Amino acid sequence: MELDLTIEKLASDGRGISHHDGVVVFIDKTCPQDIIRAKIVKQNKSYWIGELVEIIEKSPHRVKPFCPMQNVCGACQIQYIDYNYQLECKREIVKDSMREFDIEIEPVEPSPQIKEFRHKIQYPIRQTQVSKRILAGYFKPKSHDIVNIKYCPIQPAICDEIIDYIRETAPIYKIEGYDEKKHQGLLRHVVIRSSAKTGGNLVVLVINSDKIPERIKDFAQKLIDRFDKITGVGVNLNNKKTNLILSDQTKILFGKDHIEEDLCGVTFEIGANTFFQVNPKSAENIFRFVKEYINDNFVKPTILDAYAGISAFGLVMANVAKEVTSVEENPHSVEMAKTTAKKNGITNIKFFCEDSEKFFDTVSEKFDVTILDPPRKGCSEKSLEYALNITKSKIIYVSCNPSTLSRDLKYLTSKGAKIERLKPFDMFCHTTHIENVAIIDVNPNNYKK
């Protein structure tokens, strides 16, 4: 069955949404205000799925993608939509997630860059069966088939050069690409951390082995000799059948084990396994927003930085705080945070290497501000309960998932807390991913025990 439909808005997964006889219809590769013809390929009671047959009338918000691979690569799903309108679509996605709250969703803060903004690159490596050519790129949408990408405009140009050199040179060193189905082949991924501050690059070769072959060592030496902008080359040992890209076993063979990045005047050391936002300049917008809010509303508050990672929030907020308490369960991240504090002369921060929920259960003091920056799955109800108990004034919740943020805000407001502000930030341009910062007022008089 084919239908003529008008696309109304975007779903959180990037598909266009239309309606037919009261039934929601999802159609991929469409833009709001497109008039299209779609073939219905799946019918459920509550929704249908269609495939785009043709665009009858293009939306005024459609543009020509600046990447020639956009239609086949799964990385930039909505690059065919004008960037300013992308921000409107993302705001609508947040509004849909927050529809049960009486709260104004602020305009989305745009990314300072919409090209060359991505400073962490993770390319899977494969190999053709007949010619044995090395392939490196992103997966096609909804598959594990490689799109062999030689030019990617959303990452620094030096990354294209490094990847292309690896693609052409690896066979000379008898380094074969990984076969996911057979679990064979040496080189699984290439991960690059590229510094927006210095232009330096840490390159990590992820190999299907429990030891480092000599040919990998020779290849790593060749890489760092070839590129002045490569500041370090490492190897990550990952011989398990897993979708996880990096194991916890990384060895730096040549050069430095980190790059440097700046956030609001604080210099961080970012290692191969360090969690750090892939769009540093957009991340700085988030940190600046939080810091300005705290500085405008408090005089030297006590701050808890939970799920802290390398304590980026805690370290950036330190100079407007009386004292910061940072809690993170990953020992390596805690050590890197301590190094950053020492390097930047920050002395009013305490570090705890502990699971945040367990820390909440044992801490007796209360904090003026609690910053929650949990992983995509959000917080447990127990953690939220603890956060309410130990926070005197405000919870600042930073989330990369509007759905789990909505769930957690529902719990907090059910206990008497009030959403004061909700500000979205565009971290991943040309996708429907969106970061949000929620300012939550904790009123102890209303808090329901």
Residues noted as catalytic: 400
Q: Indicate the SS3 state at residue 217.
A: helix
Residue 245 φ/ψ region, left for φ over 0, alpha for ψ in the -120 to 50 degree band, beta for the rest: alpha
Q: Which residue has the tokens 């019918």?
A: 43
> Within 10 Å of residue 35's Cβ, how many Cβ atoms?
15
**Residue type for position 372:** L
d(CA 179, CA 58): 41
DSSP string, 72-123: T-SS-TTTTB-HHHHHHHHHHHHHHHTTTS--PBPPPBPPS-SSS---EEEE
Output the CA torsion sign for 74, 422, 286, 332. Answer: negative
d(CA 359, CA 369): 16
Q: Which residue has the tokens 């939509």?
A: 81
The number of residues in the chain equals: 449
d(CA 373, CA 356): 11
Residue 29 φ/ψ region, left for φ over 0, alpha for ψ in the -120 to 50 degree band, beta for the rest: left
